[in-house]
Amino acid sequence: MDFVGLMLKRCVFSTAVLYGSLALFTSILHNVFLLYYVETFVSIYKIDKISFWVGETVFLIWNSLNDPLFGWLSDRAFLSSPQSGPPITTPEVVLKRLKSLSTNGPLFALSFLAFWVAWARPGLQFLLCLCLYDGFLTLVDLHHSALLADLAVSAADRTRLNFHCSVFSALGSFSVFLSYSFWDKEDFYSFRIFCVSLAAFSILGFFLVSRLLRHRFQKEVLHRQDEAQTLKELSVGHAPLTHPEKPVTIGQYLKQLSKHRNFMWFVSMNLIQVFHCHFNSNFFPLFLEHLLSDNISASTGSILLGISYIAPHLNNLYFLTLCQRYGVYQVIRWLFMLKLGLSVAMLLAGADHIYLLCIFIASNRVFTEGTCKLLKLVISDLVDEDFVVNRRQQAASALLFGMVNLLTKPGQTFAPLIGTWLLCVYTGYDIFEREPVKDSLVSVPDVASGLGKPPLRLGCFYMLVFVPITCALLQLASWSRFTLHGRKLQGIKTLRQGAQHGNLIDVKAI
């Protein structure tokens, strides 16, 4: 018997563990991508400013459109009940998503490798690599996120699945620690070998885990089909909630979504969150270089960098226990208030307190990323509300995740564009030219501090504190209008569980 067959036969891992492990094979690659792709094209491939902005603009459009496009292609059959034939069951939906992961996971890993070898003009390679990478990342992320809503409805089961994702994502963040040892702009060969090793591990992982999960759920589908055939012969069964005369069109779906008030308020908040998360990722090396490099060693910088990527996942394990006790809504609100409080405190303390800066730079990323990890639970709750309010045959989880990304992913592109623009306007520092701009609003040393520091350091500090202050205030305003929590959320979950009784998978049982 071959190795894969032996694994299938003797698999003792729970569904939650296997589901969580898929996050490992994505995070080991995506963390390295976020940290180094801008620096690689700017410092090594020497991309020009126009090509960079054109690439980011096209990427913004593609990044926004591919989520709802792939979500619609995946879930359009779930928007209405068929007029004939048996309803689609949850195990069948899960198998469909696992098949997509088994194909697109390895392709995602291969697209990651395209960044680290110069094979075309910098501008063209930048554009093609971003679009190719994001396309496969979207397919992987959509179906993996949708499984969270498909595998469980109860808050406890979803928290359990998310818990395992956090554990494996934390393990995946160790690639950041290792990357710092291989990163060298003067000698790129070692870093390329490191990236190839990561991609090979990811390809193998996606292949094995998806096979294990598909083998498990194929048995579940066969059992359901036998049960459905028996019920059909006996003329017994539950009718779907509604019998529309024709399937729901994309226009009708968008109209339904536009009336979904909680969805709209969540998207407003999440757009800012996506922007802040990617702002931290894109400018973390810049903050280390210009705010701390003269005062800390390279090894300390490496540790700080690694902690900022690993701690959010470990911290999320604690946040999830708080969610079980106080609810996701309340925990997210507390995190926004904490972000605001820490940023104001750092602003008042100033840029000269090095150890406070270290703590703030790390904690800012930790709490911001920690918030992002909890938002999938909120989107899963929105899937439940959409299912109940619009009386769907099956929850269109991938499509709703895709629509959320359509409206929030622009923040990913705005982060480097707005950040580099603010830095250039305020300090005259252009990351493309590495020379001051004469017409800068501030072109003199920081006389106010009395230390004669260059304006670049002061500009980095103000960006570091004012961006989270602004984000936190806007997010608190949006989040206060979100009503899907407490008794209303419990009522929605009760209705969905009742509508799909007998059609859900017991995560603990398998």
Q: Identify the structural domains of the chain with CATH numbers, from first to last.
A: 13-80+87-223 (1.20.1250.20), 264-431+453-504 (1.20.1250.20)
Mean pLDDT lowest among 176-180, 255-259, 349-353, 500-504? 500-504
pLDDT tens string 265-307? 999 999 999 999 988 878 877 787 778 767 776 667 667 776 7
More confident residue, 396 or 434: 396
Question: Which residues does 100 contact at the CB level (< 8 Å), separation at least 6?
Answer: 74, 139, 143
pLDDT tens string 303-332? 777 677 777 777 888 888 898 889 999 999
Neighbour-count burial of 8, counting CB atoms closer than 10 A to its CB (0-12 exposed, 13-18 middle, 19+ buried): middle
366 has a pLDDT exceeding 80: yes
Q: Which of 287, 463, 280 is nearest to 369 (CA)?
A: 280
How many of the other CB atoms lie within 10 Å of CB of 31?
21
SS3 of 100-147: HHHHHHHHHHHHHHCCCCCCCCHHHHHHHHHHHHHHHHHHHHHHHHHH
Q: Which residues is 453 bridged to in the sheet?
A: 446
Confidence of residue 28 (pLDDT cuts 50, 70, 90): very high
Of these ranges, 62-71, 176-185, 301-310, 440-449, the one predicted with the greatest mean pLDDT is 62-71
| Confidence (pLDDT) at 205 | 94
- Cβ atoms of 161 and 507 within 8 Å: the answer is yes
| Confidence (pLDDT) at 224 | 55
| Confidence (pLDDT) at 348 | 93
**DSSP 8-class letter at 438:** T
For residues 153-181, average pLDDT: 84
Distances (CA, A) of 17 to 11, 182, 398, 447, 508: 11, 30, 21, 56, 11
Confidence of residue 75 (pLDDT cuts 50, 70, 90): confident
| Confidence (pLDDT) at 510 | 41
Structure tokens belonging to residue 493: 């979950």
Of these ranges, 30-39, 310-319, 375-384, the one predicted with the greatest mean pLDDT is 375-384
For residues 355-367, average pLDDT: 85
